[in-house]
Amino acid sequence: ALTLFVIAAAVIGSAMRSSMQAVVEIRRTGQAVNIAQSVLAELVAGSAELVDTPATAFEDAPEGWTYQIVTEEITDTPGLKKVTVIVADANSPDSHTHQLTQWILDRAALTERNEKSGS
């Protein structure tokens, strides 16, 4: 009976440990998605410049979270950019990165293009 109890306790302990690790990973992924969405929202709203940036600390997140912006011109649609926000947590033991991609209209490029064609 004692052997069965020890085996059951070990199995339950292992399951609990796995569950706790999964919860931590889900929270980390959720935080990364929130940061990426916030950065993309700033870019869409025009409150941040739509240019490539190196890894930058995210001010509203706990220390260690960084984001990087990678833009790519869509050649057949002037003013449209493919924007990828890459988020990383330096405190993460596995150094996973998360990324979110969205197409965004670059209003500054369109304004510049219209000014050139209007003159």
pLDDT for res 37: 95
95: left (phi over 0), alpha (psi -120 to 50) or beta: left
pLDDT for res 117: 67
- Residue-level pLDDT, tens digit, the chain, 119 residues: 888 888 889 989 889 988 888 888 888 889 899 999 999 999 999 888 899 999 999 887 778 899 999 999 988 888 899 999 999 988 877 777 899 999 998 877 666 666 666 65
What pTM value is reported for the model?
0.76
pLDDT for res 97: 86
Query: What distance separates the 2 farthest-apart alpha carbons in the chain?
Result: 90
Q: Write the CA distances from 87 to 30, 59, 77, 91, integer angstroms.
A: 11, 13, 27, 12
